[in-house]
Amino acid sequence: MQFPMAIIFPFRALRYNPDLVALPDVVTQPYDKITPTMQKDYYARSPFNLVRIILGQRHLDDNEADNVYIRAAAHFREWRRDGILKADDAPSLYAYTQTFVAPGSAAQVTRRGFIALGKLEDYSAGVVFRHEQTLSKPKSDRLNLLRATRAHCGQIFMLYNDSGEIDNALATDAPPAIEVGDEYGVVHRVWQVSDSARIAQVQLAMRDKQWIIADGHHRYETALNYRDERLAGALPSPDANAPYERVMMTLVNMESPGMVILPTHRVVQGLPNFSVEEFKSRIGPYFNVEEADPAIDAGRAAVQLREAGRIGNVFLAVTKSHAMLLHTPKCVGSALFGDLSLRQQALDVVLLHKCLLEGVLGISQEAIRNQDHVSYYRDAGEAMALVRSGAAQIAFLMNPCRAAQVRDIAFAGEVLPQKSTDFFPKLLSGLAIYALE
């Protein structure tokens, strides 16, 4: 019996030419983290900022002959032609570190990983695992971009489990080839590793790993869809080593001390006839409730949640004039959860969605998916300010999902609700580019 293997490849990355551009002016956050304000700022930084490719501005008169995808492909061709983007001389792996202070912390930590090409595998092969559902609209957008540019400009963030052998094999005292800070105070460093013996060592060590997609589910599935399109056109003699059989990724050991997942708080607005008293009267069958200081700030809320979370599931519900600690769920095993496993039902984010958003507040799954009444915030202070100003009705503050929970859910073939994990920091786009042609 042949067991599935995780296969990685070195590649000749396209990288920005430092003689022609300043790297801080051209790299970006991942496309799905770029707000309209950030997009505008990126455009202003440089005519060669990667945003013009990964998230270009749409025009009212866009048509089949001139649209965001065609303009992205034109920029990509021109930048390669003019030497703005240059291919490295040798196939390489790229050691990648991020040094940062996580929000709410005072300690500086470093997360280590490496950039490589990974062989695309269907989920059924048992090599790559997802932990979130994907939506069709973002995948359609990314597929159109990939068809036009035939390049992967952003990193898929993959997790694997290792004792540290792979990180040690890539460690070096040499100065980095790339060092750049981002808007969140994170310092990104990249080292090119071209030594064939070290590359082979990493390839061998990686073969028995399983990968979990931390960030980039839509991009991974887009790469699968593009591969299938190209395979259909290549029949009857497909090439297993064709460039479209591979995708660029950053692989990070989930045991890394720099593995940080932030909570994503939920804010509810626009519900007809919402009242705090009715909410309190309906919460009893689902959770035990303790009144908290209605003036609690974000810092104290985080401490209270962290301490209470050591014992079990807990949320802090904040309204304009109240704060309530919700703990000791009573709803596990109820019909609310449908066919979700007990492993899923034990997660804070699942309890929040099923018991509070759907059960108590009556928000449908479709409305949650469409963000009709539910918004998502990393900053607890911002979420609390919205409800205290009257702009929203209630905020649910929560603890982050743990890496071990993500691992167990993914390996069980299960998924979490949307916006369940917020891995920090994000991987910069533009440090390396994989051109299929």
At residue 234, the pLDDT reads 72
Q: How far is CA 49 from CA 19, 97, 155, 287, in A?
A: 15, 22, 16, 49
CA distance 432 to 424: 20
| pLDDT by 10-residue block (mean), the chain, 437 residues | 81 98 97 95 98 96 93 98 98 98 89 97 95 79 96 96 92 95 97 97 96 94 95 79 96 91 95 92 92 94 94 95 94 83 92 93 88 91 96 96 92 88 95 97
Reference 180, options 434, 435, 432; nearest CA is 432
At residue 1, the pLDDT reads 45
Q: What is the CATH number of domain 264-399?
A: 3.30.1760
At residue 2, the pLDDT reads 54
At residue 3, the pLDDT reads 63
What are the pLDDT digits (tens) for 271-328? 998 999 999 999 999 999 999 999 999 999 999 999 999 989 999 999 999 999 999 9
Domain spans, the chain: 8-260+424-435, 264-399
Contact 156, 249 (CB under 8 A): yes
At residue 419, the pLDDT reads 84
**End-to-end Cα separation, the chain, in angstroms:** 35
pTM for the full predicted model:
0.92
Contact 159, 405 (CB under 8 A): no
At residue 373, the pLDDT reads 93
Spell out the residues 6+ positions from residue 319 whose beta carbon is closer than 8 angstroms to its own: 276, 279, 387, 393, 394, 395
At residue 134, the pLDDT reads 73
Contact 76, 53 (CB under 8 A): yes
DSSP 274-335: --HHHHHHHHTTT-EEEE--TT--HHHHHHHHHHHHTTS-EEEEE-SS-EEEEES-S-TTSG
Q: Where are the alpha helices (DSSP H) in 32-164?
A: 36-45, 51-54, 68-81, 136-149
H-run or E-run covering 337: none
